[in-house]
Amino acid sequence: MNEQQLDYNKTTGVSCESCKNETFRGVVFLRKLSRFVSPDGQDHVVPMESMECAKCGHINADFNPNPIVSSPKEDVSIEDKQESADS
């Protein structure tokens, strides 16, 4: 097998759209597939791999396999809503 060496000088770095951090970690989105549309007639849970920022948890738009789902850590929690209501 002919192996080619990757020249990292010819690559482009990727940074977080939110905080500009350059390190990421793997995350998995889970989607349910109904037996009514499944090819084998069975219900399934389908994993969709992605990457989130290791610093702030943001998922870049290019990494989001399901654009209708926002980055999980960008959603406002119930506690955040209660704190702003109390202020």
Could you tell me if residue 14 is inside a domain? Answer: no
CA dist list (Å): 82 to 70, 76, 77, 85, 87: 21, 10, 9, 5, 9
Nearest CA-CA partner of 55 in 84, 16, 11: 16
pLDDT for the residue 84? 47
pLDDT for the residue 6? 87
Question: pLDDT: is 39 or 86 the higher one?
Answer: 39
Q: How far is 59 from 61, CA to CA, in rounded Å?
A: 6
Taking only the tens place, the pLDDT of each residue in 28-79 is 989 899 999 999 999 999 999 999 999 999 999 999 887 665 555 554 444 4
pLDDT for the residue 69? 57
- In which domain, by residue range, is 52 found? 25-63
pLDDT for the residue 4? 80
pLDDT for the residue 65? 80
Q: Do residues 44 and 4 make contact, with C-beta atoms less than 8 angstroms apart? A: no
Could you tell me if residue 59 is inside a domain? Answer: yes
Number of folded domains in the chain? 1
Distance between first and last Cα of the chain:
65
Q: What is the pTM of this model?
A: 0.62
